[in-house]
């Protein structure tokens, strides 16, 4: 399963820019789009699912390896840093190494998960993928980071929430195995945003109130009128730029986008469950990786979520997890039910 952080609708917008000064941006966006298309077939492969019992395995220390593709598109590239070695002085390689570690820490410390697959999977990443490559992705086995075009996007290792987002696709792959299409795909994307945000918040020790709830906050260059790729707190407000256009994410089912593009709108409609999680965290207060994160993690890994889950099915499953963990009528259970009501998802 290949899952990338930059939505196709954003790349298409960049590929359509005809001003001479955007020639490099246009070329980079077209190449990124072409790459996404060439790996679409991999998304149809059945995802291996880890039995729920493996969530209880004692987590092992991380086993990280970072490779340098040296602007080629062959993986993994040349090994430049492995577990326990000192920083190498390449910002992309060192940021990738640190980001893998921070992500591993969230799952091990908070959820007792033994790496991405629950069985101690080595964490591998490749940096400097392609020339001015405008994306980062999880390919089913490892992380891959482009350097960005320098006009719109910075290097993709700059954002810890992006690293956490992409690795969360691996957790989903090895647990619920959610399909990457339509509402199940939007849930898949949202779960990655949720845990990407939690990785960042856990590392920074930010409470729900202190957190930005932005995904990809450090990716845009100063030339872009925007703060991030997505806002979980206020979907549709992350950017409003002459080149990129306006953030198209809906914040409730009232503005749900029906489309065949982007596998049925997986990156657009993920704003709805994103906001639901944020509302749950705000209602409960404290640290989002605690009760809210436990509810979402239990829902994802508990074994009851079908691969083709709709928003309604997912909402019911999160409510059931909240009830199981904290009791019927608890503040946590009420927060989940009220959040889904706010975003107009039936449960």
Chain-centroid distance of CA 53 in Å reads 24
Pick the catalytic residue: 151, 166, 200, 298? 166
Residue 28 near residue 149 (C-beta atoms within 8 A): yes
Beta bridge partners of 144: 126, 137
Chain-centroid distance of CA 151 in Å reads 23
User: Catalytic site residue 166?
Assistant: yes
The CA distance from 235 to 106, in Å, is 25
Buried b (16+ CB within 10 A) or exposed e, 25-47: bbbbbbbbbebbeeeeeebeeeb
Pick the catalytic residue: 169, 267, 333, 347? 267
User: Catalytic site residue 267?
Assistant: yes
Give the strand pairing for 78-82 and 64-68: antiparallel
Chain-centroid distance of CA 185 in Å reads 12
Q: Which residue is it, tokens 């089912």?
A: 253
The CA distance from 166 to 144, in Å, is 9
Residue 223, Cβ density class (10 Å: 0-12 exposed, 13-18 middle, ≥19 buried):
exposed
The CA distance from 77 to 342, in Å, is 47
| Residues annotated as part of the active site | 166, 267
């Amino acid at each position: 399963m290949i899952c990338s952080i930059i939505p196709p609708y954003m790349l298409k917008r960049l590929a359509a820019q005809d001003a001479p000064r955007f020639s490099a941006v246009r070329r980079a966006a077209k190449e990124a789009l072409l790459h996404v298309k060439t790996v679409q077939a991999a998304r149809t492969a059945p995802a291996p699912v880890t039995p729920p019992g493996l969530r209880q395995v004692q987590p092992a220390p991380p086993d990280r390896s970072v490779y340098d593709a040296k602007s080629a598109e062959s993986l993994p590239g040349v090994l430049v840093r492995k577990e326990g070695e000192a920083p190498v002085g390449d910002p992309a390689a060192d940021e990738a190494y640190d980001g893998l570690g921070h992500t591993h820490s969230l799952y091990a410390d908070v959820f007792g998960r033994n790496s991405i697959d629950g069985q101690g999977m080595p964490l591998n990443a490749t940096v400097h993928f392609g020339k001015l490559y405008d994306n980062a992705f999880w390919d089913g086995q490892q992380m891959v980071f482009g350097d960005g075009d320098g006009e719109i996007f910075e290097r993709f290792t700059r954002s810890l929430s992006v690293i956490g987002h992409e690795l969360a696709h691996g957790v989903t792959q090895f647990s619920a195995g959610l399909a990457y299409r339509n509402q199940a795909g939007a849930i898949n994307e949202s779960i990655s945003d949720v845990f990407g945000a939690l990785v960042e918040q856990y590392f920074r020790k930010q409470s729900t109130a202190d957190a930005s709830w932005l995904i990809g906050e450090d990716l845009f260059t100063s030339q872009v009128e925007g703060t991030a790729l997505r806002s979980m707190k206020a979907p549709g407000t992350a950017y409003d730029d002459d080149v990129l256009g306006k953030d198209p994410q809906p914040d409730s089912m009232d503005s749900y986008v029906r489309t065949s593009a982007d596998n049925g709108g997986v990156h657009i409609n993920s704003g709805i469950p994103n906001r639901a999680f944020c509302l749950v965290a705000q209602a409960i207060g404290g640290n989002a990786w605690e009760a809210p994160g436990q509810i979402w993690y239990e829902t994802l890994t508990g074994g009851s979520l079908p691969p083709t889950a709709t928003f309604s099915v997912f909402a019911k499953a999160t409510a059931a997890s909240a009830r199981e963990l904290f009791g019927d009528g608890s503040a946590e259970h009420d927060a989940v039910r009220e959040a889904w009501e706010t975003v107009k998802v039936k449960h």
